[in-house]
C-alpha cells in the first residue's frame, strides 16, 4: 500500500471537469471533489444554477443517488463535493468485462439495465426532480450489483449554456429528445438519456460520437431485429419498442418519466422466473469482473483504483487547507493491467 501519487487527476470525459477522491476535513469520510472546468465555472449563472438544483435534492432521501454535500467557490475555481460511491463506473465495468473475455450476456445486460432504470425512477418519484446528465460515466455499479447515480445537479447548468442537441452530445455526452427550441433538462430529457445509457449496456460498449443522434435508429434496429431467440429470447421486440419510445424514435412517446420507463421495462424483463435467471446472470458476471478469489479481488481493486475514469489519484489536501489524511490505495500494478487481469481470471476458472 502507498499514498496516492501526486497529480494523478483524471476526467470522466464528460466535459464537467476533473475529480479526486479524498477525505472530508469535516468528518474524515471519503468524498469525491469535482473541480469544475474553468469554462463552465466562469459562465455567468452556472454556479447559481448548480446551487438551485442542489437545494431540492438535499431535502429528499435518495438511496440510489450520490448526495452533494456542498458547493465551494475559491476565486475563479468552483468545486462540487459529493459522497464517494464505491464501485466501477459503467464504462469501466463494461471495459473490464471485455478484458476478462466475458462481456455481459443479454440476460445480465437486461438485469443491469433494470437496476439503472429503477435508480432514475427513484429520483423521478418526487415531482419536479430530474437529473439532467444521465450518461454511463455517471452510473456506478457496486460489487453486489447496486446502482447509484452521480453528478445529479448539472441539468440546469447545462441548460443555460444554450447549446443545441448535437453540441450537447459532442461536448458532454448527453442525449436529448428532439425539440424545435433549445432543450429543457427535465424528466422527459432524463428518459432519453436513460435510453442511450441502456443502449450502451445492451451493446456492451459506449456509443460513438457519430452514432447519435443520426445513427441511433439503425443501431436500435440492428441489435434487436437481428437478434436470434437464443441471443435475446422473446425480449427483443419489447426491448426494441422500449428503446424507440425512450429515445423518441416514435412520433408519440408514452414514456414521460423514469417511473413510466420502469413500468414499461417490465415487458422486457418478462415473467418472474426469467427475471430471477437474469439477476443470477448479472451476479455471476459481477463476480467475474470484481473477482471472488483473493487474487481476482486484488486485480479488480487495482483496476478500479488505477483505471476507473471517475477516480482521481491526488494526495493534495482539500483546498480549504484542512489537515486531513491522504487517501491510501494499492500500488499501481507492475505488469500491464490487461495481462494481470487475464492471468487472474485464468487462474479463477482453472483452479
CB 83 within 8 A of CB 31: yes
Q: What is the CATH number of domain 88-286?
A: 1.10.510.10
The yes/no answer on whether domain 2-84+309-350 falls in CATH 3.20.20.450 is no
Of residues 305 and 66, the one with the higher pLDDT is 66
Assess whether pLDDT exceeds 80 at residue 347.
no
User: How would you class 59 by CB atoms within 10 Å of its CB: exposed for 0-12, middle for 13-18, buried for 19 or more?
Assistant: exposed
The owner of cell 466475458 is 102
- 229 exposure class (CB count in 10 Å sphere: 0-12, 13-18, 19+): exposed
Q: What's the burial of 283, exposed, middle or buried (CB within 10 Å: 0-12/13-18/19+)?
A: middle
Task: Identify the pLDDT of residue 293.
Answer: 52
Q: All 3 cell numbers of residue 105?
A: 450476456
Residues 351 and 348: their CA atoms lie apart, in Å, by 6
Which 8-state DSSP code applies to residue 130? -
pLDDT of 1: 25
In degrees to the nearest 10, what's the CA dihedral of 68, 73, 76, 81?
-30
Average pLDDT over every residue of 310-314: 41
Would you state the pLDDT for residue 100?
83
- Whether pLDDT at 113 is above 70: yes
265 in Cβ contact with 274 (< 8 Å): no
pLDDT for 311 beyond 50: no
What's the pLDDT tens digit per position in 264-287? Answer: 999 999 999 999 999 999 999 999
Share of the chain above pLDDT 70, in %: 77
In this prediction, residue 312 carries a pLDDT of: 43
Kindly report, residue by residue over 171-230, the tens digit of the pLDDT: 999 999 998 788 889 999 999 999 999 999 999 999 999 999 999 999 999 888 755 554
pTM of the model: 0.81
Tell me what the mean pLDDT of segment 33-53 comes to: 96
Mean pLDDT computed over every residue of the chain? 83
Domain boundaries in the chain?
Answer: 2-84+309-350, 88-286
Are residues 345 and 100 in contact, defined by beta-carbon separation less than 8 angstroms?
Answer: yes
Exposed, middle or buried by CB within 10 Å (0-12, 13-18, 19+), for 50? Answer: buried
| Cα–Cα distance measured from residue 337 to residue 303, given in angstroms and rounded to the nearest whole number | 7
Order of strands across the sheet that contains 68-74: 10-11, 17-23, 30-36, 77-83, 68-74
Amino acid at each position: 500500500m502507498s499514498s496516492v501519487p501526486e497529480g494523478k487527476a483524471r476526467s470522466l470525459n464528460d466535459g464537467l471537469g476533473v475529480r479526486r477522491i479524498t477525505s472530508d476535513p469535516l468528518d474524515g469520510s471519503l468524498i469525491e471533489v469535482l473541480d469544475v472546468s474553468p469554462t463552465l465555472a466562469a459562465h455567468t449563472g452556472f454556479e447559481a444554477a448548480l446551487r438551485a438544483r442542489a437545494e431540492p435534492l438535499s431535502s429528499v432521501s435518495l438511496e440510489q443517488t450520490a448526495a452533494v454535500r456542498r458547493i465551494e467557490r475559491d476565486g475563479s475555481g468552483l468545486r462540487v463535493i459529493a459522497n464517494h460511491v464505491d464501485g466501477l463506473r459503467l464504462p469501466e465495468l463494461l471495459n473490464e468485462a471485455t478484458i476478462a473475455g466475458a462481456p455481459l450476456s443479454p440476460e445480465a445486460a437486461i438485469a443491469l439495465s433494470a437496476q439503472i432504470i429503477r435508480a432514475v425512477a427513484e429520483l423521478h418519484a418526487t415531482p419536479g426532480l430530474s437529473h439532467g446528465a444521465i450518461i454511463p460515466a455517471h452510473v456506478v455499479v457496486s460489487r453486489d450489483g447496486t446502482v447509484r447515480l452521480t453528478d445529479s445537479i448539472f441539468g440546469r447548468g447545462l441548460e443555460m449554456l444554450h447549446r443545441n442537441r448535437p453540441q450537447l452530445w459532442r461536448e458532454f455526452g448527453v442525449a436529448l429528445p428532439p425539440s424545435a427550441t433549445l432543450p429543457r433538462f427535465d424528466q422527459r430529457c432524463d428518459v432519453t438519456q436513460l435510453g442511450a445509457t441502456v443502449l450502451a449496456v445492451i451493446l456492451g460498449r459506449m456509443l460513438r460520437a457519430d452514432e447519435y443522434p443520426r445513427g441511433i435508429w439503425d443501431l436500435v434496429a440492428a441489435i434487436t431485429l437481428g437478434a436470434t431467440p437464443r441471443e435475446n429470447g422473446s425480449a427483443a421486440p419489447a426491448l426494441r419498442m422500449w428503446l424507440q419510445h425512450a429515445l423518441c424514435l416514435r412520433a408519440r412517446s408514452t414514456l414521460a418519466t423514469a417511473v413510466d420507463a420502469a413500468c414499461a421495462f417490465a415487458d422486457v424483463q418478462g415473467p418472474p422466473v426469467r427475471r430471477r435467471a437474469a439477476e443470477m446472470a448479472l451476479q455471476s458476471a459481477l463476480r467475474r469482473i470484481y473477482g471472488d478469489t483473493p487474487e481476482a479481488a486484488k486485480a479488480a481493486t487495482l483496476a478500479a483504483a488505477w483505471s476507473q475514469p471517475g477516480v482521481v489519484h491526488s494526495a493534495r489536501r482539500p483546498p480549504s487547507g484542512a489537515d486531513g489524511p491522504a487517501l491510501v490505495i494499492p500500488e499501481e500494478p507492475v505488469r500491464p493491467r490487461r495481462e494481470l487481469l487475464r492471468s487472474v481470471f485464468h487462474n479463477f476458472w482453472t483452479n
